[in-house]
Amino acid sequence: MNENLPSCPKCSCEYTYEMDALVVCPECGHEWVPDEGGAAGDGRGGERVVKDAVGNVLSDGDAVTVVKALKVKGSPSGIKAGTKVRGIRLIDGVDGHDIDCKIDGFGAMQLKSSVVKKA
């Protein structure tokens, strides 16, 4: 067992373990590829890549389309599949919500990149 594994860049847990080519955090479930250069634990080892549901790389300001209907707490109707969202902003969100946006009729929301595709 390798005892020089980096701490988790999200929650700083020191009990990480290797799974194939990834390093996994047992506390928050974050998975990442460790940097061979050594700066894996500081969270700034490189640009974070966010991909949509079909594998396209997303960036700030992109327009996306919601690919599946989403329920919204406090709203009698949810967000329908096919809803266009313009001007997204990528964030380090909670629970996998990595897109910050404004949706017409709903206001400011956070979405997961796994439920959108690049328009």
- The pLDDT tens digits of the residues spanning 73-84 come to 888 889 999 999
How far apart are alpha carbons 101 and 13 in whole angstroms? Answer: 30
Q: What average pLDDT score do residues 102-107 get?
A: 89
pTM, two decimal places:
0.59
- 3-state secondary structure (DSSP) of residue 113: helix
- Tell me what pLDDT residue 38 has: 42
51: phi then psi, degrees, rounded to nearest 5: -115, 150
DSSP string, 15-51: --EEETTEEE-TTT--EEPPPTTS--TTS-SS---EE
- The pLDDT tens digits of the residues spanning 24-65 come to 888 888 888 876 544 444 444 456 789 999 999 999 999 999
